[in-house]
Homo-oligomer: A and B are copies of this chain.
């Protein structure tokens, strides 16, 4: 059996993180890979209660076909929810999606022809690049510093490449943990308007802040309509429910709906109704307090443990999110070192996967949310030793 696949499949391999998951079936390995919420942050009893409640109240509607545009009560609750990011949006511009990965898929489907340029931060979330590659986009990069994307470089690259859109993770960026200061956010919104260039602002980590003050979204400074906002409940309520949202002006919203009709018809209504009830219950931020305290302690523990790492390991301290990012001495190749590290009992994601052009072998991403303090201590000890021997 020999099949001729579509040309988009030619250079596609599996998403590195997804495939690492499968390799990590050994429960003895301390995993700093992945970006999973802690099991303790998943409110299974509360979700069970909400599932029961919404099915008893609205079961016939929930189990029937729904509109592609989504479950109407959820438009309202999401429009309300994003006010915490400074965003005022008409509920009719809120499109619930099956996780924000789907939003990226739909957005690329609407916008991207093979060879079209997308600008991304360097480094950026590999899952987003996986989608872009499936649409055969030409991925170009914007320079970052310790404060994230550099607006001047963004402007220059827009002039140079005329991208179809720009992908930015403004808060506790994946993988670097960096956060754009408010002045840069304003500047980026102005650049979007000035160059009539779409910015896709992906903001799943914003509520995972352990220090400092929350910042308004780039979208909150946008009056042009060119800033499109992605929200997700995967880090705050549950990734397994697969509910996110994309906020887009009417014409673009309609195009996204036409593509979603051909993707999954609609996001499962039960999941939308559970998230709606969760938000309306008003307990989200209450429920998160415990997780935030715990994640904050885990982040600090991981950062503290860097003191025993070999000289030349660098890290910009994040104020939240799920990840810390390490620059290692030049001679270390984190990808090549991974099998040894795993054999020693610790796993991470090699940083090279987050670079559109590969390279940067001496970087790695560490997740701290999914390992308790004692495991972080133990895992970081192992990792420090592994790096010293490298």
Contact B64 A9 (CB under 8 A): no
Q: Measured between alpha carbons, how far is A34 from B65 in the docked complex, in Å? A: 9
Q: In this assembly, does A29 line the interface, its C-beta being within 8 Å of a C-beta of chain B? A: no
Contact B42 A51 (CB under 8 A): no
A261 to B226, CA, bound (A): 27
A5 touches B111 (CB 8 A): yes
Complex contact A45–B59 (CB within 8 A): yes
25 contacts between A and B (CB under 8 A): A1-B224, A1-B226, A1-B249, A2-B196, A5-B110, A6-B109, A6-B112, A6-B116, A9-B110, A9-B255, A18-B67, A18-B68, A48-B51, A48-B52, A51-B52, A51-B55, A66-B240, A102-B264, A104-B262, A105-B262, A105-B264, A241-B268, A242-B264, A270-B270, A270-B271
A21 at the interface (CB under 8 A from B): yes
B101 close to A263 (CB less than 8 A) = yes
Judging by beta carbons under 8 Å apart, are B21 and A44 in contact?
A: no
Interchain CA distance A112-B6 in the complex, whole Å? 5
A interface residues (Cβ-Cβ under 8 A, vs B): 1-9, 12-15, 18, 21-22, 34, 36-37, 39, 42-45, 47-48, 51-52, 55-56, 59-68, 98-99, 101-102, 104-105, 109-113, 116, 127, 130-131, 134, 164, 196, 198, 224-226, 234, 238-242, 249, 251-252, 254-255, 257-259, 261-271
| A105 and B263 form a contact (CB under 8 A) | yes
Is B51's CB under 8 angstroms from A37's CB? no
B110–A264 CB distance below 8 A: no
